[in-house]
Chains A and B, each alone.
Chain A
Amino acid sequence: MPDKSPKTIATINFKGGVGKTTVTWCLGDVLSSTSNMRGLMFDLDAQMSLTQAIALNEATGFLQERFGKWYETARQRKKTIFDALDAFTKPMPHFDFPVGFDFIYQITKNFHFIPSVEDLYWQELEVFDRDGVRGFIGRLLGKISNNRQIPPYDFVLFDCPPSFTLLSYSVLSCCDLVLIPVNPDFFASRGVALILNSLRLRIEPHPLPKIGIFMNKAKTWGNSPTKEVQFYMREVQKVCDEAAKSQAIDARFFKSYIRERVGIKRAITGGGVPPEMISDFQDLWRECVEFLG
């Protein structure tokens, strides 16, 4: 029997501004629009960047009407990710939180979304118990998979905050792959060493998922990365190999990279991934799948 469970991928980096949100959305958009795959995407960041970007209509600057109405209803009916977390951590024998399309927003037929809410700040204030939250994402995915009204997903993407929250802990202890975007500069590259050397400590005693690192915002000259980008790619590769050995983690630096283009910044609000960049995300996905085996 082939494995029908979706590939779960968490985009994470403790350094801000490396492009986690844009990459997560672009990857989901490309996969769901250029193949037959169906995907679900979570915004787990209390800063709500992904949620706001999806909601924002660039032409008017106002919330898109369809999403705006749906979002307000979800909040009123207490069907947000925070309400799900609240229900999960209540001292009850069952996780009583029915899931449906009042909880999951359909961006397109094949691309669905669970938005963030400001209330997620509460989980950073340690109102919730760490071990009590750990199984949350796994159980929520189980509920979604078992619901016959929701179609099965081929992939699930998580846009994680640039800090280690309880939800990050919950995602990391159940996802298949941690995807770390890095930028071609010293500080971003240094951030990779820090995250790789601290991930194990953060989620012990649970096993670490596979970790894939790739270069984002790569400047190019002709069809190749510039020499400066190549320098940082080599350095990050070394950092990755060193951490894999010293921390006993399954980490790989991907050969594929995402090019820096002006259009990509407006991809979410402006209606899609620039056509010339689609192959970048397809290549990245191919490498993710190959790594996951």
Chain B
Amino acid sequence: MFRTPEEETRELAKEIRELKDILREISRKLGQIEGRVKRVFPTAFPSLPSQGVRTSVPKINNPPTISSQEALNIYDELVKMAKEGRKDEVQRRLETMGLPDLAFLSRELGVPVGKNKPSRKVLLNGVLGRISESMMLSTSNLRERINNQQDIEKTNPDISPEKP
């Protein structure tokens, strides 16, 4: 049961994200199976004719479209949004960011990714981790955090935890 349309939309968006994650995982597993079968029965997989012009997906090594200062400004904006409780919006903004820009932002924040070509998910989690750190560092103490949370709940009762 949803109390407001906004709550329903949020839940829907969450479920879509979860389903996409599941489909990505299934696709990855199918790819692995296909690879193994191809190695055993190469003739069963003739190379497909070209399917016309492929749309070019920006690669991680492509140059970013933002400067170092712009990346830091974007980051400050994301931290501000997260502090205001707009975490879904932060997630969406990062998800829609081009891969070269996301990789650049992650580099500018010194996120340790460990690989030459980290996946979008790794980069996204790295940036989200930095945002959490910034939030925890900027709130001086636990009592202040609790008070802030209470203020948010007072002004926006929709996000209050459900009471029994």
Bound together: yes
Where the two chains meet, the residues of A that have a C-beta atom closer than 8 Å to any C-beta of B are: 186, 189-190, 193-194, 197, 226-231, 234-236, 238-239, 242-243, 246
Instruction: Please measure, in the bound complex, the distance between the C-alpha atom of A189 and the C-alpha atom of B139, giving whole angstroms.
Output: 12
Q: A234-B72, A236-B137 are in contact. List 8 more A-B contacts (CB 8 A).
A: A186-B133, A186-B137, A197-B140, A227-B109, A230-B110, A235-B137, A242-B140, A246-B140
Contacts of B141 in A (CB 8 A): 193-194, 197
Contact status of A235 and B134, CB under 8 A, knowing A226-B110, A227-B107, A227-B109: yes
Is A193 a contact partner of B137 (Cβ separation < 8 A)? yes
Q: Least Cβ distance of A2 to chain B in Å?
A: 39
Is B130 on the interface with A (CB-CB < 8 A)? yes
Interface check B23, CB cutoff 8 A = no
Contact of A238 (CB < 8 Å), options: B108, B110, B138: B138
Q: Least Cβ distance of B99 to chain A in Å? A: 18
Min C-beta distance of A198 to chain B, whole Å:
9
Supposing A186-B133, A231-B130 touch, asked if A239 and B138 sit within 8 A by C-beta, the answer is: yes
Main secondary structure of the interface of B (DSSP, over half): helix
* B112 at interface, CB cutoff 8 A: yes
In Å, the complex CA distance between A217 and B107 comes to: 20
B109 — which chain A residues lie within 8 A by C-beta? 227-228, 231
Check B112 against A228 for contact (C-beta < 8 Å): yes
Q: Which 5 A-B pairs have the closest CB atoms?
A: A228-B110, A227-B110, A231-B110, A197-B140, A235-B137
With A226-B110, A228-B110, A228-B112 as known contacts, state yes or no: A190 contacts B140, CB within 8 Å.
no
Q: Would B137 and A239 count as touching, CB distance under 8 A?
A: yes
CB distance from A276 to the nearest CB of B (A): 23
Interface members, chain B 126-164 (any A CB < 8 Å): 130, 133-134, 136-138, 140-141
B136:A190 contact, CB within 8 angstroms: yes
Please tell me if the beta carbons of A190 and B137 are within 8 angstroms of each other in the complex: yes
Cβ–Cβ < 8 Å partners of A246 in chain B: 140
Check if A229 sits within 8 Å of B110, measured CB to CB.
yes
* Residue picked from B72, B137, B138, most chain A C-beta under 10 Å: B137
